[in-house]
Amino acid sequence: MKYLYLLLAIAFFSGCISVKPRIAFESLPIPKAPDYNNPDCWAALPEKIDSADLFPTVQMATNQKEAEVDVFFLHPTSYTGNKGERNWNGDVYDDQLNLKTDNSTIK
């Protein structure tokens, strides 16, 4: 059974390594910078209803607004697929990419 987990881990990580832009970093256009004052530029915030509000059980639920610490989570490995092969950076204004991120990594 442990060999099965090892094979699954190898397959997962080799898939992450294989998705990389095929052209030089300098030759690609840079996406518009996010406006971090705009809540739409954040995948999750305590003030809005988002995928980060989901919990496996009621017992695990927390009150984000009263949490003792804030967590700033970067998800660089979620930018994959064809766009990830043509671009170095994901665009925070890309609705399709945001939906994919919200329904995977943020959950």
Name the band, by pLDDT with cuts 50, 70 and 90, for residue 60. low
What residue has token string 């890309």?
Answer: 94
Q: How far apart are CA 18 and CA 37, in angstroms?
A: 34
For residue 26, give both structure tokens: 């300098």
Whether the Cβ atoms of residue 104 and residue 97 lie closer than 8 Å to each other: no
Q: How far apart are CA 88 and CA 92, in angstroms?
A: 13
DSSP string, 13-40: HHHHHH---SS-GGGSPPPPPP-TTSGG
**pLDDT by residue (tens digit) across 15-58?**
555 556 666 666 667 788 889 899 988 888 888 888 888 877 77
Name the band, by pLDDT with cuts 50, 70 and 90, for residue 9. low
**pLDDT by residue (tens digit) across 67-90?**
787 777 776 566 666 665 667 777
